[in-house]
Structure formats: C-alpha cells, structure tokens
Copies of this chain bind each other. A is one copy, B any other.
Amino acid sequence: MKKELDTYTKLLNSALELFRKKGYSATGINEIVAQSGAPKGCLYHYFPGGKEEIAIKVVKAYEKAESNKIKRILSSSPDPVKAFELIFEEFIEKISRGGEFENLSITLLSLESINISESLRKACASAFESLETLFTERLVESGFKEEIAKERARILLCLFNGALTLSLSQKNISHLLLAKKEIRSILFYY
C-alpha cells in the first residue's frame, strides 16, 4: 500500500514541478513519468485521464495546500489591513529572493486551459473562488457586512492577481509593493 501511494505522490509532485516551470501545454506525459522515476506507462494506471486528469489533481492539491497557508497568514494579525499585507509580503519575499519562483501559476494554467480543457479551466476557476471565499471570510470576521466583504474581497483578489502577473512579467516587485500600499484604501476608502 505504501508503494502505491508513493508512486502516485511522486507522479503528482513531478507534474506540479513541470507545470510550475513550463505550464500545461509545454509539459509532456513522458516527461512527468521520467522525472518522477516511476516505471514507464504507469501514469495511466494512476491517472486514466492522462495529462488532463493529473493537471486537475495537481490544481486541487495545490488549492488545498495554498488555502491552508493563506488561512494561516490571514489569521496571524487581528488587523485586516495587516493580515492582507502579509499575503502580499509572502509573494514579494519569494520573488525578491530571486532564483525560481516556486509557486504554481493558477493564472497560467487557467488561461492555457480556456480553449483546451474545460475541466482544467473549472478546476482553476474553483481555486480562485476558494481564495475569494477565504478573503471574504476574513473580512466578515473583522466586522464587514457579508455583501461588502464579498465585494472588497473580489477587488483585493483582482488587484493581487494583476500585481503578481505584472511583477512576474517584469521580474520586478514594484507592482506588488505598490498594490500592497493600496490595501487600506480598498478596504476603507471607496
């Protein structure tokens, strides 16, 4: 049983690593298997739906892990502005450290999937929705009315997503830094 689980996890990790670096389209099934060290041809045993299925599983696993991390960060300060600043800082620090950016880009997989795989697109959309829900819940905890919390959470997510894309694209953290300074206005002056 342990061996079964290991091969499955190795394939999943190797797929995550490749999708992170190259995206969905540029990653080949054979590459995933080769990098995992698993026996050839075993991918379809664990993932009968092939690359599409493993990508969906990768996104779901990533969504779960990221949700736990984001929830932890958001609960680490009683001040909602500070809590959201910590989210931005987490990514600013990762990009500043230079070298490879170790996050899977749901944005990349999501845009790649639009004309290629409806199930992968839905998995990515659901990952974004989870994030929006976590943001909303955090604001409700701080006393925002449900409707306002939903709206502010959505604006923060758009701002964060765009700032991350632009910072990655420019290899420069200035968009994320500026967006971080905007959190207070988004939450309180609108």
Contact = CB atoms under 8 A, between A and B. Distances in A.
B162 A163 contact: yes
A60 interface: no
A110 interface: yes
A130 interface: no
A174 B151 CA distance: 10
Nearest to A101: B114
Interface of A: 21-23, 25-26, 100-101, 105, 107-108, 110-112, 114-116, 121, 124-125, 128-129, 151, 154-155, 157-163, 165-166, 168-171, 174-175, 178-179, 182, 185-186, 189-190
A39 to B, nearest CB: 27
Contacts of A162: 157-163, 165
A169 B125 contact: yes
A107 B168 CA distance: 10
A142 B105 CA distance: 37
Given A114-B169, A128-B169, A155-B179, 13 more contacts: A22-B25, A22-B115, A100-B115, A107-B165, A111-B165, A124-B169, A157-B162, A158-B159, A158-B162, A160-B162, A161-B162, A185-B190, A189-B189
Most chain B C-beta atoms within 10 Å of own C-beta, residue among A22, A124, A154, A157 = A154
When A and B form their complex, which 8 residue pairs have the shortest distance between CB atoms, in order from nearest? A162-B162, A161-B162, A25-B26, A158-B162, A108-B111, A25-B25, A110-B169, A185-B190
